[in-house]
A and B are shown apart, each in its own frame.
Chain A
């Protein structure tokens, strides 16, 4: 296949393609380290499979712990790509263009670990197929399985289609890379030739898929929340749980995009392709999400407090002053107080402060998932007077969690070494878009006297 393509002009093309031409020693060491962590996770998982779920901290009545926290967190991270790419695309926000691929890659590489968290939590992974052979419609788990699978499939296609012209660019420009790498570009480019009609159709399909994905992004996280909300457990059985999960997902996802962009900008010297203005735009979005998250928190807890239903209050006080008080208040400070102060007083024009706030938000959002899930299980409805559960994660859960994050980082790092992380064709200069020279403008519009 020797197809050559017409490529739009982009003055940053050479800088964007530079990381693809050489894998450094630091890369190899980083990949080895991450692979080592994944190996440790594999060992812990084999141990769990062999000895049973007793090696985890889960017990009666706490059946869901760190693994399900990871599941909700990873699915949440996966909303970054769709939010940035699809929703901002529909809104016509042009500033999103340089960061779309970095955001979509987070979606693509975090979703599989969300799914894997469920498999790890099952203890008997072969029973996953029961969803197909014995699936019942009334089960929210089936809705979850369908929605997440469809989201994964659609995200892969959306990502791949928007990558297609850039794969063709790699095929045509990167002729001095190893033969297998060039062959990979040839196969993945599917004979793309960059005809105007191809670009026109690509834009139409991406616009259409953006609408579909915007709908899916809402559906997926709402359905994830319904796995909890459709039970009648205190703290979970509320209509607010869907929007609460959705907002949290987009919030942590957008913060993750800030972290990824800052690292890419620094490591690959993409200062011109990823200008400071992008971070300022994301800062404004994050301020809105931080306040939205506070609104959700207040709505949730104020309603519970005024209802004063005994079983609800049992969980409520567990969070505010009970066993989970440290986690709850740490989460509030990390997700809301400190980031908001940083965004308002320090974040503008400062990538370092933006990254600090974003890391805090993601740590806080993981804690938030934990605090939503576990306290309810330690004080379940009807049983809380008889059984007061406790939960302390073991090293097996900790190691498997670390290995999952390592896996996500590894996939991301490897991807950035083989494919352009800034979309070259989407950020290309539009022909005729430049401002005409001053003399020509004067001739056309006249001179102000």
Chain B
């Protein structure tokens, strides 16, 4: 199978499209979870230091 045929098969074979959908949505979901955690952790380190100093 040539490279051209391989690429062609990727577009025309049933199945790979669904994998891409899952990958795109899964990746977006993971990024959003990480971003939310990052926001919530904002200022936590400084607060811990202040508490220790007190």
Does any Cβ of A come within 8 Å of B4's Cβ?
A: no
Among A137-145, A235-243, A334-342, the stretch that binds chain B is: A137-145
Known contacts A135-B14, A138-B12, A201-B38: A196-B43 contact under CB 8 Å: yes
In the complex, A199→B13 CA distance in Å? 47
Contacting pair B47 A142 (CB below 8 A): no
What are the interface flags for B8-52 relative to A under an 8 Å C-beta threshold, 1 for contact and 0 otherwise?
001111111111111011001100100110111011101100000
Contacting pair B42 A133 (CB below 8 A): no
Contacting pair B39 A146 (CB below 8 A): no
Q: Which residues of B contact A133 (CB under 8 A)?
A: 14-15, 18
Does any Cβ of B come within 8 Å of A59's Cβ?
A: no
Does any Cβ of B come within 8 Å of A30's Cβ?
A: no
What are the interface flags for A199-239 relative to B under an 8 Å C-beta threshold, 1 for contact and 0 otherwise?
11110010000000000000000000000000000000000
- Total count of chain B residues near the partner, CB < 8 A: 28
Does any Cβ of B come within 8 Å of A272's Cβ?
A: no
Q: Which residues of A contact B16 (CB under 8 A)?
A: 135-137
Among A99-107, A113-121, A153-161, A422-430, the stretch that binds chain B is: A153-161
Our pick among A136, A150, A192 for the contact of B24 (Cβ within 8 Å) is A150
Q: Which residues of B contact A153 (CB under 8 A)?
A: 25, 28-29, 32
Does any Cβ of B come within 8 Å of A440's Cβ?
A: no
Known contacts A131-B21, A132-B21, A135-B21: A191-B40 contact under CB 8 Å: yes
Measured CB to CB, the nearest residue on chain A to B23 is: A146
Contacting pair B10 A131 (CB below 8 A): no
Give the most central of B15, B16, B19, B42: most A CB within 10 Å.
B42
Q: What is the minimal beta-carbon distance from A205 to any residue of chain B, in angstroms?
A: 5
Q: Which residues of B contact A350 (CB under 8 A)?
A: none
Does any Cβ of B come within 8 Å of A184's Cβ?
A: no
- Total count of chain A residues near the partner, CB < 8 A: 32
Q: Which residues of B contact A198 (CB under 8 A)?
A: 39-40, 42-43
Known contacts A136-B13, A153-B29: A161-B18 contact under CB 8 Å: no
Contacting pair A135 B17 (CB below 8 A): yes
Q: What is the minimal beta-carbon distance from A156 to any residue of chain B, in angstroms?
A: 9
Contacting pair A197 B42 (CB below 8 A): yes
Does any Cβ of B come within 8 Å of A149's Cβ?
A: yes
Q: Which residues of B contact A344 (CB under 8 A)?
A: none
Contacting pair A154 B40 (CB below 8 A): no
Contacting pair A157 B11 (CB below 8 A): no
Q: What is the minimal beta-carbon distance from B34 to any residue of chain A, in angstroms?
A: 10
Q: What is the minimal beta-carbon distance from B5 to any residue of chain A, in angstroms?
A: 15
Measured CB to CB, the nearest residue on chain B to A139 is: B17
Our pick among B21, B35, B36 for the contact of A146 (Cβ within 8 Å) is B21
Our pick among B18, B29, B35 for the contact of A131 (Cβ within 8 Å) is B18
Does any Cβ of B come within 8 Å of A134's Cβ?
A: yes
Q: Which residues of B contact A157 (CB under 8 A)?
A: 32, 35-36
Does any Cβ of B come within 8 Å of A190's Cβ?
A: yes
Enumerate A155-169 residues with CB–CB distance to B below 8 Å. Answer: 157, 161, 164
Does any Cβ of B come within 8 Å of A444's Cβ?
A: no
In the complex, A99→B13 CA distance in Å? 46
Our pick among A135, A138, A196, A205 for the contact of B15 (Cβ within 8 Å) is A135
Measured CB to CB, the nearest residue on chain A to B22 is: A132
Contacting pair A132 B11 (CB below 8 A): no
Q: What is the minimal beta-carbon distance from A153 to any residue of chain B, in angstroms?
A: 6
Our pick among A150, A191, A193, A195 for the contact of B28 (Cβ within 8 Å) is A150
Measured CB to CB, the nearest residue on chain B to A204 is: B39
In the complex, A108→B13 CA distance in Å? 34
Q: What is the minimal beta-carbon distance from A431 to any residue of chain B, in angstroms?
A: 18
Q: Which residues of B contact A201 (CB under 8 A)?
A: 38-39, 42
Q: Which residues of B contact A137 (CB under 8 A)?
A: 10-12, 16-17, 20
The 7 closest A-B pairs by CB, nearest first: A135-B17, A197-B43, A195-B43, A197-B42, A135-B18, A132-B18, A134-B14
- B-side residues, CB < 8 A to A, are 10-22, 24-25, 28-29, 32, 35-36, 38-40, 42-44, 46-47
Given contacts A131-B17, A137-B10, A161-B35, 5 further A-B contacts (CB under 8 A): A135-B15, A137-B12, A190-B40, A197-B43, A202-B39
